[in-house]
Amino acid sequence: MNTVLAFLQEHRARLALARYGVPERLASVVLTPRFAASRHVIVLLLPAGRAEPVLVAKLPRLAGDGAALAHEADVLRTIQAARPGGLDSVPAVIAFEDVSGYPLLVETALAGPPLDRAAVRRDPARACALGVDWLADVATPSRGTLDDAAFARLVSDPLAAFADGFPLAREDEARLTATRDSAERLRGAGLPLVLEHGDLSHPNLILRAGGGLGVVDWELAQLAGLPAHDLVFFLTYIAFARQDARTTAAQIAAFRSAFFGRDAWARPYVLEYAERLGLATEWLGPLFALCWARYTIRLWARVNAAEGAPAGNGERAAWLRDNRYYALWQYAIEHMGDLAWL
Average pLDDT, the chain: 92
Q: What percent of the chain has pLDDT above 70?
A: 95
State residue 307's pLDDT score. Answer: 59
State residue 306's pLDDT score. Answer: 67
Q: Average pLDDT of 128-153?
A: 90
pLDDT in tens, 72-111: 999 999 999 988 888 899 999 999 999 988 899 999 999 9
pLDDT in tens, 193-238: 999 999 999 999 999 988 899 999 999 999 999 999 999 999 999 9
pLDDT in tens, 36-57: 556 788 999 999 888 899 999 9
**What residues form DSSP beta bridges with 213?**
207
